[in-house]
Copies of this chain bind each other. A is one copy, B any other.
Amino acid sequence: MKRVTIEDIAAKLNISFSTVARALNDHPAISEATKNAVKETATRLGYRQNKVAASLRSGRTHIIGVIVPNLQLSFFSAVVHGIERIMNENDYNILLYQSNEALVQEARGIDTFLQSRVDGIIASVTQETREMPHYAEIRKRGIPLLFFDRAIANLEVPSVVIDDFKGGYLATQHLVDQGYRRIVHINTEQNLAIFSAREEGYKAALIANGLAVDASLIVRGPLSLALGEATVDRFVAQQIPFDAIFAVEDFTAMGALQALKKHKIKVPSAVGVIGFANEAFGSLVTPTLSSVDQQTVRMGEESAKLFLKLLQQKGKVMPPEKIVLEPMLVPRASSGNF
Protein backbone atom coordinates (compact mmCIF):
# COMPACT_ATOMS: atom_id res chain seq x y z
CA MET A 1 0.00 0.00 0.00
CA LYS A 2 1.36 3.39 -1.04
CA ARG A 3 2.04 5.64 1.91
CA VAL A 4 0.65 9.14 1.78
CA THR A 5 3.23 11.91 2.09
CA ILE A 6 3.08 15.66 2.39
CA GLU A 7 3.46 15.85 -1.39
CA ASP A 8 0.20 14.01 -1.82
CA ILE A 9 -1.53 16.56 0.36
CA ALA A 10 0.16 19.41 -1.47
CA ALA A 11 -0.96 18.03 -4.84
CA LYS A 12 -4.56 17.73 -3.66
CA LEU A 13 -4.59 21.37 -2.54
CA ASN A 14 -2.40 22.84 -5.26
CA ILE A 15 0.07 24.30 -2.82
CA SER A 16 3.72 23.53 -2.27
CA PHE A 17 4.71 20.66 -0.02
CA SER A 18 6.75 22.94 2.21
CA THR A 19 3.62 24.89 3.02
CA VAL A 20 1.98 21.65 3.96
CA ALA A 21 4.90 20.80 6.24
CA ARG A 22 4.64 24.17 7.93
CA ALA A 23 0.90 23.89 8.37
CA LEU A 24 1.24 20.47 9.95
CA ASN A 25 3.86 21.81 12.34
CA ASP A 26 1.72 24.83 13.26
CA HIS A 27 4.19 27.30 11.88
CA PRO A 28 3.06 30.83 12.90
CA ALA A 29 3.45 32.26 9.40
CA ILE A 30 0.75 30.05 7.91
CA SER A 31 -2.81 31.33 7.64
CA GLU A 32 -5.53 29.63 9.58
CA ALA A 33 -7.36 28.90 6.37
CA THR A 34 -4.57 26.86 4.82
CA LYS A 35 -3.77 25.18 8.13
CA ASN A 36 -7.32 23.96 8.41
CA ALA A 37 -7.45 22.85 4.82
CA VAL A 38 -4.18 20.99 5.16
CA LYS A 39 -5.10 19.27 8.39
CA GLU A 40 -8.47 18.32 7.06
CA THR A 41 -7.10 16.64 3.95
CA ALA A 42 -4.31 15.10 5.99
CA THR A 43 -6.75 13.20 8.17
CA ARG A 44 -8.98 12.48 5.18
CA LEU A 45 -6.11 10.84 3.31
CA GLY A 46 -4.92 9.05 6.44
CA TYR A 47 -1.61 10.86 6.50
CA ARG A 48 0.91 9.98 9.21
CA GLN A 49 4.13 11.84 9.56
CA ASN A 50 7.24 9.81 8.82
CA LYS A 51 9.30 10.41 11.93
CA VAL A 52 12.27 8.65 10.41
CA ALA A 53 12.52 11.25 7.67
CA ALA A 54 11.89 14.07 10.11
CA SER A 55 14.61 12.75 12.40
CA LEU A 56 17.14 12.39 9.62
CA ARG A 57 16.64 15.95 8.60
CA SER A 58 16.28 17.59 11.99
CA GLY A 59 18.84 15.50 13.84
CA ARG A 60 16.41 14.85 16.66
CA THR A 61 14.59 11.55 17.16
CA HIS A 62 12.56 12.27 20.30
CA ILE A 63 13.69 8.87 21.52
CA ILE A 64 15.49 8.26 24.81
CA GLY A 65 17.53 5.11 25.30
CA VAL A 66 16.99 3.46 28.66
CA ILE A 67 19.36 0.72 29.75
CA VAL A 68 18.82 -1.37 32.88
CA PRO A 69 20.36 -4.59 34.15
CA ASN A 70 17.18 -6.64 34.23
CA LEU A 71 13.55 -5.75 33.83
CA GLN A 72 12.45 -8.75 35.82
CA LEU A 73 13.62 -7.14 39.04
CA SER A 74 10.73 -5.15 40.42
CA PHE A 75 13.06 -2.31 41.29
CA PHE A 76 14.01 -1.67 37.68
CA SER A 77 10.61 -2.22 36.18
CA ALA A 78 9.16 0.28 38.63
CA VAL A 79 11.76 2.87 37.68
CA VAL A 80 11.23 2.28 33.97
CA HIS A 81 7.52 2.61 34.58
CA GLY A 82 8.12 6.06 36.08
CA ILE A 83 10.48 7.12 33.35
CA GLU A 84 8.14 6.06 30.58
CA ARG A 85 5.18 7.79 32.17
CA ILE A 86 6.86 11.18 32.38
CA MET A 87 8.66 10.94 29.05
CA ASN A 88 5.45 9.92 27.38
CA GLU A 89 3.72 13.03 28.72
CA ASN A 90 6.48 15.07 27.17
CA ASP A 91 6.36 13.42 23.77
CA TYR A 92 9.45 11.30 24.12
CA ASN A 93 9.59 7.58 23.51
CA ILE A 94 11.64 4.95 25.26
CA LEU A 95 14.00 2.56 23.52
CA LEU A 96 14.60 -0.25 26.00
CA TYR A 97 17.70 -2.35 26.54
CA GLN A 98 18.65 -4.92 29.18
CA SER A 99 22.31 -5.37 30.00
CA ASN A 100 21.85 -8.52 32.12
CA GLU A 101 24.56 -7.19 34.42
CA ALA A 102 27.12 -7.80 31.66
CA LEU A 103 29.54 -5.15 30.56
CA VAL A 104 29.65 -6.36 26.95
CA GLN A 105 25.91 -6.15 26.62
CA GLU A 106 25.88 -2.74 28.21
CA ALA A 107 28.42 -1.56 25.66
CA ARG A 108 26.42 -3.07 22.83
CA GLY A 109 23.29 -1.36 24.07
CA ILE A 110 24.95 2.00 24.11
CA ASP A 111 26.37 1.39 20.68
CA THR A 112 22.88 0.67 19.40
CA PHE A 113 21.56 3.81 21.03
CA LEU A 114 24.28 5.87 19.41
CA GLN A 115 23.53 4.37 16.00
CA SER A 116 19.85 4.96 16.51
CA ARG A 117 20.68 8.59 17.23
CA VAL A 118 18.70 8.71 20.46
CA ASP A 119 18.34 12.19 21.95
CA GLY A 120 19.69 11.00 25.28
CA ILE A 121 20.48 8.01 27.47
CA ILE A 122 19.29 7.06 30.94
CA ALA A 123 21.18 4.19 32.52
CA SER A 124 21.71 2.14 35.62
CA VAL A 125 25.12 0.52 35.24
CA THR A 126 25.93 -3.16 35.65
CA GLN A 127 27.73 -4.62 38.62
CA GLU A 128 30.76 -5.14 36.40
CA THR A 129 31.02 -1.52 35.39
CA ARG A 130 34.02 0.24 36.90
CA GLU A 131 35.17 2.49 34.12
CA MET A 132 33.28 3.42 31.06
CA PRO A 133 34.95 4.06 27.77
CA HIS A 134 31.50 3.66 26.22
CA TYR A 135 29.97 6.14 28.65
CA ALA A 136 32.78 8.59 28.01
CA GLU A 137 31.99 8.47 24.31
CA ILE A 138 28.39 9.42 24.94
CA ARG A 139 29.55 12.60 26.59
CA LYS A 140 32.12 13.29 23.87
CA ARG A 141 29.26 13.25 21.41
CA GLY A 142 27.36 15.74 23.51
CA ILE A 143 24.46 13.39 24.12
CA PRO A 144 22.73 13.96 27.47
CA LEU A 145 23.41 11.12 29.89
CA LEU A 146 21.90 10.41 33.27
CA PHE A 147 22.43 7.66 35.80
CA PHE A 148 19.91 6.43 38.31
CA ASP A 149 20.44 4.35 41.41
CA ARG A 150 23.83 2.99 40.44
CA ALA A 151 26.16 5.77 39.30
CA ILE A 152 29.82 5.70 38.44
CA ALA A 153 31.74 7.63 41.06
CA ASN A 154 34.52 9.28 39.07
CA LEU A 155 32.39 10.29 36.10
CA GLU A 156 30.74 13.68 36.34
CA VAL A 157 27.26 12.74 35.28
CA PRO A 158 23.91 13.98 36.58
CA SER A 159 22.16 11.30 38.57
CA VAL A 160 19.16 10.38 40.64
CA VAL A 161 19.85 8.14 43.60
CA ILE A 162 18.58 7.45 47.07
CA ASP A 163 20.67 8.19 50.08
CA ASP A 164 21.81 4.65 50.76
CA PHE A 165 23.98 5.71 53.68
CA LYS A 166 20.98 7.26 55.33
CA GLY A 167 18.90 4.20 54.52
CA GLY A 168 21.39 1.97 56.30
CA TYR A 169 21.54 4.44 59.15
CA LEU A 170 17.76 4.63 59.50
CA ALA A 171 17.36 0.87 59.53
CA THR A 172 20.04 0.44 62.16
CA GLN A 173 18.87 3.34 64.31
CA HIS A 174 15.39 1.87 64.20
CA LEU A 175 16.67 -1.47 65.51
CA VAL A 176 18.60 0.29 68.25
CA ASP A 177 15.53 2.33 69.16
CA GLN A 178 13.63 -0.93 69.51
CA GLY A 179 16.17 -2.10 72.05
CA TYR A 180 18.28 -4.40 69.93
CA ARG A 181 22.04 -4.28 70.57
CA ARG A 182 23.90 -7.07 68.76
CA ILE A 183 22.86 -6.36 65.22
CA VAL A 184 24.02 -8.70 62.47
CA HIS A 185 24.53 -7.09 59.07
CA ILE A 186 24.26 -9.14 55.87
CA ASN A 187 25.76 -7.57 52.77
CA THR A 188 27.11 -8.61 49.38
CA GLU A 189 30.68 -9.32 48.27
CA GLN A 190 30.10 -7.33 45.11
CA ASN A 191 31.71 -3.99 44.76
CA LEU A 192 28.66 -1.77 44.33
CA ALA A 193 28.68 1.64 45.92
CA ILE A 194 25.03 1.49 46.91
CA PHE A 195 25.61 -1.57 49.09
CA SER A 196 28.75 -0.32 50.78
CA ALA A 197 26.97 2.97 51.53
CA ARG A 198 24.27 1.05 53.38
CA GLU A 199 26.97 -0.68 55.38
CA GLU A 200 28.62 2.64 56.24
CA GLY A 201 25.23 3.85 57.46
CA TYR A 202 24.95 0.76 59.63
CA LYS A 203 28.37 1.37 61.17
CA ALA A 204 27.80 5.08 61.70
CA ALA A 205 24.50 4.43 63.47
CA LEU A 206 26.13 1.89 65.78
CA ILE A 207 28.91 4.31 66.66
CA ALA A 208 26.50 7.21 67.16
CA ASN A 209 24.71 5.04 69.70
CA GLY A 210 27.86 4.05 71.52
CA LEU A 211 27.78 0.51 70.16
CA ALA A 212 30.87 -1.29 68.88
CA VAL A 213 31.21 -2.30 65.25
CA ASP A 214 31.84 -6.02 65.54
CA ALA A 215 33.36 -7.48 62.36
CA SER A 216 32.16 -10.95 63.32
CA LEU A 217 28.58 -9.70 63.00
CA ILE A 218 29.09 -8.60 59.40
CA VAL A 219 28.39 -11.34 56.90
CA ARG A 220 29.01 -11.32 53.14
CA GLY A 221 27.74 -13.53 50.36
CA PRO A 222 25.53 -13.72 47.27
CA LEU A 223 22.32 -11.96 48.28
CA SER A 224 19.44 -14.43 48.35
CA LEU A 225 16.94 -16.23 50.57
CA ALA A 226 19.57 -18.93 51.01
CA LEU A 227 22.17 -16.48 52.31
CA GLY A 228 19.81 -15.17 54.97
CA GLU A 229 18.92 -18.66 56.02
CA ALA A 230 22.52 -19.89 56.06
CA THR A 231 23.57 -16.91 58.13
CA VAL A 232 21.05 -17.61 60.84
CA ASP A 233 21.85 -21.32 60.74
CA ARG A 234 25.53 -20.61 61.25
CA PHE A 235 25.05 -18.13 64.09
CA VAL A 236 22.75 -20.54 65.86
CA ALA A 237 25.08 -23.50 65.33
CA GLN A 238 28.11 -21.57 66.53
CA GLN A 239 26.06 -20.08 69.37
CA ILE A 240 27.14 -16.57 68.50
CA PRO A 241 24.75 -14.25 70.34
CA PHE A 242 22.78 -11.71 68.30
CA ASP A 243 19.43 -10.04 68.72
CA ALA A 244 18.74 -8.41 65.36
CA ILE A 245 19.48 -8.68 61.65
CA PHE A 246 19.75 -5.92 59.08
CA ALA A 247 20.04 -7.30 55.57
CA VAL A 248 20.82 -4.97 52.65
CA GLU A 249 18.03 -6.47 50.62
CA ASP A 250 14.58 -7.92 51.38
CA PHE A 251 14.93 -11.45 50.06
CA THR A 252 17.96 -12.05 52.22
CA ALA A 253 16.09 -10.66 55.22
CA MET A 254 13.21 -12.96 54.37
CA GLY A 255 15.52 -15.97 54.35
CA ALA A 256 16.73 -14.99 57.80
CA LEU A 257 13.14 -14.61 58.98
CA GLN A 258 12.27 -18.09 57.76
CA ALA A 259 15.34 -19.59 59.43
CA LEU A 260 14.51 -17.90 62.71
CA LYS A 261 11.04 -19.41 62.56
CA LYS A 262 12.57 -22.79 61.80
CA HIS A 263 14.78 -22.51 64.88
CA LYS A 264 11.76 -21.43 66.94
CA ILE A 265 13.36 -18.09 67.69
CA LYS A 266 10.64 -15.52 68.29
CA VAL A 267 10.45 -12.48 66.02
CA PRO A 268 10.46 -9.69 67.06
CA SER A 269 10.69 -10.47 70.78
CA ALA A 270 13.95 -12.45 70.67
CA VAL A 271 15.36 -11.21 67.37
CA GLY A 272 14.36 -8.23 65.21
CA VAL A 273 14.68 -8.23 61.42
CA ILE A 274 14.74 -5.48 58.84
CA GLY A 275 15.44 -5.60 55.11
CA PHE A 276 15.86 -3.05 52.36
CA ALA A 277 13.83 -2.30 49.20
CA ASN A 278 10.28 -2.69 50.49
CA GLU A 279 9.42 -5.49 48.12
CA ALA A 280 5.72 -6.25 47.66
CA PHE A 281 5.85 -9.42 49.73
CA GLY A 282 6.99 -7.61 52.90
CA SER A 283 3.49 -6.58 53.94
CA LEU A 284 2.09 -10.05 53.21
CA VAL A 285 4.41 -12.37 55.09
CA THR A 286 4.08 -13.35 58.75
CA PRO A 287 5.36 -11.52 60.66
CA THR A 288 5.31 -8.62 58.22
CA LEU A 289 8.83 -7.58 57.28
CA SER A 290 10.23 -4.17 58.21
CA SER A 291 12.15 -2.51 55.40
CA VAL A 292 13.43 0.69 53.86
CA ASP A 293 11.53 2.04 50.90
CA GLN A 294 13.49 3.28 47.89
CA GLN A 295 10.74 5.28 46.17
CA THR A 296 11.28 3.44 42.93
CA VAL A 297 8.56 4.97 40.79
CA ARG A 298 9.49 8.41 42.03
CA MET A 299 13.10 7.70 41.14
CA GLY A 300 12.01 7.05 37.57
CA GLU A 301 9.88 10.16 37.47
CA GLU A 302 12.60 12.36 38.91
CA SER A 303 15.08 10.87 36.46
CA ALA A 304 12.82 11.75 33.58
CA LYS A 305 12.20 15.27 34.85
CA LEU A 306 15.86 16.03 35.43
CA PHE A 307 16.53 14.61 32.02
CA LEU A 308 14.06 16.91 30.33
CA LYS A 309 15.86 19.81 32.00
CA LEU A 310 19.13 18.51 30.59
CA LEU A 311 17.68 18.35 27.11
CA GLN A 312 16.65 21.99 27.37
CA GLN A 313 20.06 23.27 28.37
CA LYS A 314 21.80 21.17 25.73
CA GLY A 315 25.00 22.86 24.74
CA LYS A 316 25.48 24.92 27.84
CA VAL A 317 27.93 23.33 30.23
CA MET A 318 26.40 22.96 33.65
CA PRO A 319 27.74 21.33 36.79
CA PRO A 320 26.00 17.95 36.88
CA GLU A 321 22.97 18.02 39.08
CA LYS A 322 22.45 15.20 41.53
CA ILE A 323 19.07 14.42 43.02
CA VAL A 324 19.17 12.44 46.23
CA LEU A 325 15.88 10.89 47.29
CA GLU A 326 15.13 10.20 50.93
CA PRO A 327 14.87 6.56 51.94
CA MET A 328 11.80 5.90 54.03
CA LEU A 329 11.70 3.62 57.01
CA VAL A 330 8.84 1.13 56.86
CA PRO A 331 8.57 -0.38 60.34
CA ARG A 332 6.54 -3.58 60.50
CA ALA A 333 6.03 -6.52 62.80
CA SER A 334 9.46 -8.11 62.33
CA SER A 335 11.03 -5.36 64.40
CA GLY A 336 8.37 -4.38 66.90
CA ASN A 337 4.68 -3.81 67.38
CA PHE A 338 3.61 -2.06 64.21
Residues of A within 8 A of B (CB): 1, 46, 48-53, 55-56, 61, 63, 66, 70-72, 74, 77-78, 80-81, 84-85, 88, 93-98, 111-112, 114-117, 137, 140-142, 254, 258, 279-281, 284-286, 297
Asked whether, in the complex, the Cβ of A71 is within 8 Å of the Cβ of B61, the reply is no
Q: Once the chains bind, are B74 and A81 in contact (CB under 8 Å)? A: no
Given A285-B285, A286-B286, verify A61-B72 contact (CB < 8 Å). no
CA distance A74 to B75 in the complex (A): 11
Beta-carbon nearest neighbor of A70 in chain B: B81
Q: In the assembly, how many copies of this chain are there?
A: 2
Q: Write out the residue numbers on chain B whose beta carbons fall within 8 Å of the beta carbon of A98.
A: 81, 84-85, 88
> Across the two chains, which residue of chain B brings its CB closest to A113?
B93
Q: Note all chain B residues with C-beta closer than 8 A to A94.
A: 95-97
Q: Is the CB of A115 within 8 A of B281?
A: no
**A50 to B117, Cβ gap below 8 A?**
yes
In whole angstroms, what is the CA distance A280 to B251 when docked? 11
Is B115 in contact with A51, judged by CB distance below 8 angstroms? Answer: yes
Q: How far, in angstroms, from A78 to B80 measured CA to CA in the complex?
A: 13
Q: Are A72 and B81 in contact (CB under 8 A)?
A: yes
Known contacts A71-B84, A77-B74; A117/B284 CB under 8 A: no
Q: Which of A72, A81, A98, A142 has the most CB of B within 10 A?
A: A72
Contact (Cβ within 8 A) A116 B93: yes
How far apart are the CA atoms of A111 and B48 in the complex, in Å? 8
Pairwise interchain contact A84-B72, C-beta atoms closer than 8 A: no
* A52 / chain B contacts, CB cutoff of 8 Å: 52, 55-56, 61, 116-117
Question: Among the interface residues A46, A51, A84, A94, which one has the most CB atoms of the partner chain B within 10 A?
Answer: A51
A297 surroundings in chain B (CB, below 8 A): 72
Docked Cα-Cα span, A96 to B84, in Å, equals 8
Cα distance A32–B258 in the bound complex, in angstroms? 63
Set B61, B70, B141, B254: member contacting A1, Cβ < 8 A: B141
Q: How far is the CB of A112 from chain B (nearest CB, A)?
A: 6
CB distance from A165 to the nearest CB of B (A): 27
A102 to B11, CA, bound (A): 37
Contact B71 A1 (CB under 8 A): no
Q: Which residues of B contact A74 (CB under 8 A)?
A: 74, 77, 280
In angstroms, how far is the closest chain B Cβ from the Cβ of A210? 36
Contacts of A254 in B (CB 8 A): 284
Residues from chain B with Cβ under 8 Å of A50 in the complex: 56, 115, 117
**CB < 8 Å: which of B56, B61, B88, B97 contacts A88?**
B97
Q: What CA separation (Å) do A52 and B53 show in the bound complex?
A: 8
- Asked if A84 and B97 sit within 8 Å, CB to CB, the answer is yes
Per CB-CB distance, the 4 closest pairs between chain A and chain B, nearest first, are A77-B77, A281-B281, A71-B81, A286-B286
Q: Which residues of B contact A85 (CB under 8 A)?
A: 98
Of chain B, the residue at the smallest CB distance from A74 is B74
Shortest C-beta distance, A314 to chain B (Å), equals: 13
